[in-house]
Structure 1
Amino acid sequence: MSKVLGLFLVAIFSIAYTQLVNGHSLRGCQTRCGNVSIEYPFGISTGCYYAVHDSFNLTCNETTNELFFGNMQVVNYSHSGELRILMSRSYACYNRTRVAETISYNTNLRSFTFSNKNRFTAVGCNTFAFMTTIFEDRNYSTGCLSTCDSIPKENGVCSGEGCCHTSVPKRSKRFIIRSSSFDRDASVNNFNPCSYAFLVEEGMFSFSPSQDLQNLRNFTKFPVVLDWSIGNQTCKQVGNTSICGQNSVCLDSTTRDGYNCKCKAGYDGNPYLQEGCQDINECTTSSAIHKHNCSGSSTCENMMGHFLCSCSSGFELNATTNGCMRKHKPVNTGWIPILLGTTVGFLAILLVVICVQQKMKHMKSIELRKQFFEQNGGGMLRLRLSGAGPSNVDVKIFTEEGMKEATNGYDESRILGQGGQGTVYKGILPDKSVVAIKKSRLGDSSQVEQFINEVLVLSQINHRNVVRLLGCCLETEVPLLVYEFINSGTLYDRLHGSMSDSSMTWEHRLRIAVEIAGTLAYLHSSASIPIIHRDVKTANILLDENLTAKVADFRDSRLIPMDKEQLTTMVQGTLGYLDPEYYNTGLLNEKSDVYSFGVVLMELLSGQKALCFEKPQQSKHLVNYFASAMKENRLHEVIDEQVMKENNQREIHEAARIAVECTRLMGEERPRMKEVAAQLEALRVGKTKDEGSDQYPEPEVNEHLVGVEILSAQGDTSTTGYDSIKNVTMLNIEAGR
């Protein structure tokens, strides 16, 4: 009960505080009702209040000296738009026969609205209460529930045990409060005969279980905050027609439509009257809020809206303490121009030196980039491109700074792969596009020629199944190539590596074979200048997210002049895929790619590596093992178990026949890639030619032996080199490319 009583003491204090405010009303209007001052726009008689609507019309009970808003007693109000009133509560009381005495509370706030500073509160055991408000044309209901079977122990806690509360919507003008109980018995009635529901300003009610559950009925009213404002337009909308007086400002209401008025800084009074805001004399006022802060020997001088601190002659004001201090004697400043001139001259000379150094550094950088450009084959690239015919692709030249930024300074976390010829990084260009950047290793001029050759070859190719060259960078110490980024690894990874899984169905494998064959056929027959890849293998077939094949790595490729069918060149390739005829003769033609493709097709069918020294002698080389199985009608031993399960025996056997034909020992007995692509495409769409199977005779096993010198290298992914002029075999063992 003491907590509830404290609420009314706070209300009385608020009333007492209101008396200290120097209120202002219209001339001839009543300025006080009991202990509450009456200030415009409020008033108690016609002509004394803001007459746009009657919400500002208050009533003074001369008998009790109490001020009322409707039937609710006014505690106080502020110019900023708050009106505090006392409001009754709803209750429901029960006797032993469970006959209830129920009082609901229903009120209308006219044009004023509830503040969100209020809380809807219910007190009682096994009590539920709800509140219905009306906002414009909508109804809104809220409520809370409290339970208990004995008197709670803890004071000041209103969280559901004997007491509960919830927030209420602001801007509502009318509300109904009801309270009720459930599951009541005699034991509860002994210490809590009634259930209560009421609105109360937040922080103005503290629950005391031992008192409030028994005696709260004796306290009938609680303080509630209402929001008020002038009209329903903003300050901008009303402009100069607002009722705000001189030396005041118009402020849009933050709680409802309309506006409120406020005296400017340095003024006090009623901002709603024409001359209500008067200058505050900070030099004489006793108010601690508005009193001046001049200190020491400084003198306060009142000004309109503010004050000044002044000092007598010979003293000056200290801006920090607002006190006076003696002026210092003038200091001889004749040396300042000399010092300033010397400093400026020194800085100018220093700036010139820095500019010259930067210019020299820039020129040295340009010269170094030119040197790298020539060293990395820039001149050769220009010469070869000018002599190779028109290019189908514009090769963009990237800067060194751009490459560093794209790879985060060639960070190790960006490395996609490494091989004997260099490192591939994942790069992110300024437009957020992702690319693959190949950084070649430092080496001799032959490696530079291979690099330029790859740029040259790719500049002639425009095909959806060839990795697209975006550009290159030649002004770095080692040359860089920038490709489109393919994000799903290589065909080798899918068949034999860490990415191997069951998602590679026969349909996928056949489509990939068709795409590779079509690409090689394009290179051999449809490119502006025929191109021989010279290193076709599963590690050089990239796959995108849709498992679309992308042929890559053209550094060993060769352009075949239109008047020649073959070239004599140093042997390049990878063991297991290398054409034995090309290896032995050094004569390169398109049938070398056909052989390598046949090995790739065998890998797609069998899921086995092209060359594996860990296997028994008869299955070490996939070409021999596959051809023997085909001849002896035991193809099922070689074909990947997953592919065999898909019940495509006819297509598998036909694809195996094509693979064997592609790997015949003599190049003239192999089909052209154009024919291979057509047969595989027909097989894919179910139109395999019946006469195709008789085009080439059944192969003999010894026709596919690749030669002792090739197998002598003890490595699974070795790269072979052969110079046909010196007739010397060279083996470079490296980790596959």
Structure 2
Amino acid sequence: MKQFTSYLIHDFAGFNGSTTQNSPCLFSSILDVHSFNGTSRWCDLYKRYQGQFPVAVVWSISNSSCEEAKLNRTTYACRSRNSYRLQPYRGYTCSCNDAYEGNPYIEDGCNAKGATRIRNILMIISGSVGGSVLVCTAILALWRILEKRNLQNRKKKFYRKNLDLLRKEQSSTDEIVTERMKIYELDELEKATNYFDKTRVVGGGGHGKVYKGILSDQRVVAIKMPKITNESELRQFVNEVFLLSQTNHRNVVKLMGCCLQTEVPLLVFEFISGGTLSDHLRNHEQFSPLSFEDRLRIAYEVARALSYIYSEASITIFHRDVKSSNILLDERNTAKLADFGASRAVTCDKNSITTIVQGTYGYLDPEYHQTGRLTNKSDVYSFGVILAELLTGKLVVPYEKDNDEVRNIVMDFIASLTDNSLLEILDPLVLKEAKEEILQKIARLIERCLKLYGNERPTMKDVEEELKAMRAKKPNVDPNSLEGTASIDTRLDHGVNSLEGTASIHTCFEIEANSLGGTASFHTCFDIEANSLEETALIDSSM
């Protein structure tokens, strides 16, 4: 209804009021019945509501009575089971039963009081949670996008910084380094190590960790992750990348590549599974004791590696941290010189440089320690300590004797030569297997390597040649006078430098035959050096 019209009749039967025709109380209005109190005066109502009266509409369904409507279930409006009928005027309306609330005109619309409220609350909570989840999902997706972008930016930043450091080390362009090794993506190394899982750690110490990794082509590698605390250590690590990129020798651990996308480069090496020389000399629970023949061969291989980095590599390298824990052994106990972080490169015409003293106590050249002058004889001293370790099996670190005197392996070894008590400090296995003649030669070589002054020590090339000659002689005696026997020892040693196009091969055959008629022994060695660029070869054979 949009409007209504009412008529006021002033004179009608039974009206005795004194109100005049102009009285403000003469009005009519549609009014909510509950708003009208029979005792109220019309003028009071007008003032109370300021001429705006509350109106309520009373409605009903059809004109049928409740009984009539209930007969037709199709049109019957009270659908909910918990509803009933009201018949205020004409027709009827529906309402929920006591203790129920809701909508009686729909199926199951009337629910127990409180359930609807809880349901509404749950709906509100669900809606809020759903909205929150959507918001959180959107924020998380945005965060991931930003994090991925930041990660890519950090990778680019680290790559440029590390490449600049490499350029400074080699005073050239990046092509020299990148041509000689592979540059790995960080993602590939993360997958290879199961994101650097702690169960993949196979070595390391205070300067970092070494992880075992399996590349996508199934090659097993060792990935070195440094623990860098200052700029100096960072430069050492970059220095190792540069130096190892210049080497290629069977007795120097092979650098397969590096990753420059981290704050400090990750180095990828060939995986050496046999542990360190130090492990083999002392951890006899995990490793079998090395025979004297193996020890002599390992000494020769380390000497070859040191001789190579001095004179045959692309640049001259002073290792500066030669020790038994930096010599790795593969599954055949072949020696691999490792850890070039402290090494220094020098020009070919220099035999020494002045630098901050660095190395491992016990192996450190005393002349270098006193003067800071690193020479091509400094590593010779450290190698002499390793030779003493191989013969004695003793620790290099100092120890106290009964009279509180501090001693170390070098002091004990030199003293044993002075008072002719060498046999007392040797490893029992060495004493059992080695000829005394060979032991005396090695002992004198060690004595020369451990001279206090570098100019009194032999060169690394001289050491290599002496050990090679010792290996040419059978290191032990295997008498058998009753039966004819023959023993053959064949070993093939390779040294290849792909950068200079050179190769050297050394092979020795040792044959000893015993029979009733006499004994004969034969030894033959072949040294082959080839230069593929000049197409020349030199073969030296001796019998």
Structure 1 residue 374: deviation in Å?
Answer: 4.1
Q: Residue 382 of structure 1 aligns to which amino acid in structure 2? A: R
Matched-pair contact (CA < 8 Å) for 1:513–1:680: yes
Superposition CA RMSD, Å: 2.6
Residues 435/384 of structure 1: CA separation in 2 closer, same or farther (3 Å cut): same
Q: Residue 172 of structure 2 aligns to which amino acid in structure 1? A: G
Q: Residue 166 of structure 2 aligns to which amino acid in structure 1? A: L
Deviates more, 1:646-655 or 1:498-507: 498-507
**1:151-178 CA deviation, whole Å, 9 max, x = no partner?**
xxxxxxxxxxxxxxxxxxxxxxxxxxxx
Q: 2:363 aligns with which of 556, 564, 577?
A: 577
Structure 1 residue 510: deviation in Å?
Answer: 0.2
1:396 equivalenced with 2:182 (yes/no): yes
**1:110-168 CA deviation, whole Å, 9 max, x = no partner?**
xxxxxxxxxxxxxxxxxxxxxxxxxxxxxxxxxxxxxxxxxxxxxxxxxxxxxxxxxxx
Q: Which runs of 4+ in 1 moved over 4 A?
A: 351-362, 388-393, 498-502, 614-619
Structure 1 residue 361: deviation in Å?
Answer: 5.0
Q: 2:215 aligns with which of 429, 437, 456?
A: 429
Q: 1:601 aligns with which of 384, 387, 403?
A: 387
Q: 1:495 aligns with which of 281, 297, 304?
A: 281
> What does residue 354 of structure 2 align with?
568
**1:388-425 CA deviation, whole Å, 9 max, x = no partner?**
99569722111221121111121111111231211111
Matched-pair contact (CA < 8 Å) for 1:392–1:460: no
Residues 619/650 of structure 1: CA separation in 2 closer, same or farther (3 Å cut): farther
Structure 1 residue 355: deviation in Å?
Answer: 9.9
> What does residue 627 of structure 1 align with?
414
1:274-293 to structure 2, matched below 5 A, reads none
> What does residue 313 of structure 2 align with?
527
Residues 423/491 of structure 1: CA separation in 2 closer, same or farther (3 Å cut): same
1:700-719 to structure 2, matched below 5 A, reads none
Matched-pair contact (CA < 8 Å) for 1:537–1:596: yes
Structure 1 residue 360: deviation in Å?
Answer: 5.3
Matched-pair contact (CA < 8 Å) for 1:579–1:596: yes
Residues 599/372 of structure 1: CA separation in 2 closer, same or farther (3 Å cut): same
SS of residue in 2 equivalent to 1:680: helix
Q: 2:449 aligns with which of 644, 650, 662?
A: 662
Matched-pair contact (CA < 8 Å) for 1:619–1:625: no
Q: 1:677 aligns with which of 464, 478, 486?
A: 464
1:180-219 to structure 2, matched below 5 A, reads none
Distance 2:184 2:217 in 1: 14
**1:622-681 CA deviation, whole Å, 9 max, x = no partner?**
111101101211110111111111141111111111011101001100000000000000
> What does residue 384 of structure 1 align with?
169
**1:567-620 CA deviation, whole Å, 9 max, x = no partner?**
110101001100000000000011110000000000001111112325556672
1:183-262 to structure 2, matched below 5 A, reads none
1:442 equivalenced with 2:228 (yes/no): yes
Q: Residue 636 of structure 1 aligns to which amino acid in structure 2? A: L
Q: Residue 372 of structure 2 aligns to which amino acid in structure 1? A: G
Residues 543/416 of structure 1: CA separation in 2 closer, same or farther (3 Å cut): same
Q: 1:409 aligns with which of 183, 191, 195?
A: 195
SS of residue in 2 equivalent to 1:554: coil
Distance 1:567 1:503 in 2: 39
Matched-pair contact (CA < 8 Å) for 2:321–2:360: yes
Q: Residue 380 of structure 1 aligns to which amino acid in structure 2? A: L
**1:293-339 CA deviation, whole Å, 9 max, x = no partner?**
xxxxxxxxxxxxxxxxxxxxxxxxxxxxxxxxxxxxxxxxxxxxxxx
Distance 1:502 1:355 in 2: 55
Residues 369/605 of structure 1: CA separation in 2 closer, same or farther (3 Å cut): same
Identical columns (%): 46
Aligned length: 337
> What does residue 461 of structure 1 align with?
247
Matched-pair contact (CA < 8 Å) for 2:302–2:335: yes
SS of residue in 2 equivalent to 1:417: strand
Q: 1:592 aligns with which of 378, 381, 385?
A: 378
SS of residue in 2 equivalent to 1:425: strand
Residues 607/392 of structure 1: CA separation in 2 closer, same or farther (3 Å cut): farther
Q: Residue 356 of structure 2 aligns to which amino acid in structure 1? A: M
> What does residue 373 of structure 1 align with?
159
Structure 1: 5+ residue stretches without partners: 1-350, 689-737
Structure 1 residue 541: deviation in Å?
Answer: 0.3
1:102-251 to structure 2, matched below 5 A, reads none
SS of residue in 2 equivalent to 1:418: strand
Matched-pair contact (CA < 8 Å) for 1:394–1:459: yes
Structure 1 residue 558: deviation in Å?
Answer: 0.3
Distance 1:390 1:535 in 2: 26
Distance 1:500 1:664 in 2: 35
Residues 406/358 of structure 1: CA separation in 2 closer, same or farther (3 Å cut): same
Distance 1:562 1:481 in 2: 27
Structure 1 residue 443: deviation in Å?
Answer: 1.6
Deviates more, 1:559-568 or 1:388-397: 388-397
1:418 equivalenced with 2:204 (yes/no): yes
Matched-pair contact (CA < 8 Å) for 2:274–2:330: yes
- TM-score norm. by structure 1 comes to 0.43
Residues 479/586 of structure 1: CA separation in 2 closer, same or farther (3 Å cut): same
Q: Residue 400 of structure 1 aligns to which amino acid in structure 2? A: L
Q: Residue 352 of structure 2 aligns to which amino acid in structure 1? A: Q
Matched-pair contact (CA < 8 Å) for 1:393–1:461: no
Matched-pair contact (CA < 8 Å) for 2:237–2:264: no
Structure 1 residue 531: deviation in Å?
Answer: 0.5
**1:80-115 CA deviation, whole Å, 9 max, x = no partner?**
xxxxxxxxxxxxxxxxxxxxxxxxxxxxxxxxxxxx
Q: Residue 562 of structure 1 aligns to which amino acid in structure 2? A: C
Distance 1:546 1:405 in 2: 29
Q: Residue 180 of structure 2 aligns to which amino acid in structure 1? A: D
> What does residue 38 of structure 2 align with?
none
Structure 2: 5+ residue stretches without partners: 1-136, 476-543
> What does residue 78 of structure 1 align with?
none
Distance 1:572 1:474 in 2: 26
SS of residue in 1 equivalent to 2:328: strand
Distance 2:416 2:164 in 1: 52
SS of residue in 1 equivalent to 2:240: helix
Matched-pair contact (CA < 8 Å) for 1:496–1:607: yes
SS of residue in 1 equivalent to 2:359: strand
Distance 2:369 2:194 in 1: 42
Distance 2:141 2:287 in 1: 61
1:639 equivalenced with 2:430 (yes/no): no
1:482 equivalenced with 2:251 (yes/no): no
Residues 647/536 of structure 1: CA separation in 2 closer, same or farther (3 Å cut): closer
Residues 505/353 of structure 1: CA separation in 2 closer, same or farther (3 Å cut): closer
Deviates more, 1:522-531 or 1:568-577: 522-531
Structure 1 residue 366: deviation in Å?
Answer: 2.1
